[in-house]
Amino acid sequence: MIDVPEALATAQSEYNGAAGRAFVAGLPELTAEFVRRWDLVIDGPPMHGVAALVVPVVRADGIPAVLKLQLLDEESRGEPVALRLWNGDGAVRLLDHDPATHTMLLERLDERRMLAHLPDTHEAVLIIARLLAHLTAGPAPDGMRRLGDIARDMLERTPRALDRVPDPEARAIVADCAAAVREVVDEPGDRLLHWDLHNENVLASDRAPWLAIDPKPLAGDPGFELWPALYNHYDPDDVRWRFDAMTDVLALDRDRALAWTLGRLLQNCLWDVEDGRPLDPDQLEMARRLRGRRS
């Protein structure tokens, strides 16, 4: 019924090994099952990211939607819970969900109109900040993964990672990021966070100018949300403007927001070191620009 995109198959094999290959092999049958179960008609070629297959469909009542199929992991586990809580306010609307397979039926947005295509990068940053103001307005529900646990785990892993960073300046930046996280780790916050709101995860729709998709939700401080928008269309000379603009829109304490933003850099650096990749020089430069920013 569908052809699984080769790029998705490659990504699943690379990141999830045998489980990813089994997931990809079962996607045609799984898609057919939910097309039958939810009385859908496939309405175009499948789309994909790194983790999910997204199939355009039309419901029996004529309403366009998309079928999202993905391998359940720690990051995606809370997605349907968050989407139900947001109920379309700033985010795509969840129409149906199968807990056994994590398959979701979502309202269809316009994938041709992505925030990444907006030429005005300042306006794009402000759009993300306004969306985050909606999405992070309420507390996360019980059972959501928690920023405090993630932060403490990062701090435990940092000493081993530092031993594997050969460049003294880069090592100092990573150590400084860890020190910033230690200052706030005991007050990690309780807001419902999207965690991955970069400009390719914001699409236009008919019912709202822009809506967020693909959350990797957790409970924590909204300052942990800023990094993706700071890094979109990377411009080192614009980092401080973006940081100030987002903290203004979200009414965040800048010192706390800076600490949690540096926590995102620490998270990225730990992943790079543990996977044997070099540290990203652009992200290190962003940290250099931000480290002097105190309220």
Name the helix (H) or strand (E) containing 290: helix 281-291
Among 43, 196, 235, 255, the active-site one is 196
State which amino acid sits at residue 292: G
Q: What is the number of other CB atoms lying within 10 angstroms of the CB of residue 150?
A: 19
Token pair, residue 73, equals 């992991």
Token pair, residue 52, equals 């999910």
Token pair, residue 104, equals 């979701």
C-alpha 202/C-alpha 127 separation (Å) is: 9
Active-site residue flag, 196: yes
C-alpha 257/C-alpha 136 separation (Å) is: 14
C-alpha 87/C-alpha 90 separation (Å) is: 8
How far CA 257 is from CA of 10, 131, 145, 174, in Å, comes to 36, 17, 20, 17
- Any idea which residues carry the catalytic annotation? 196
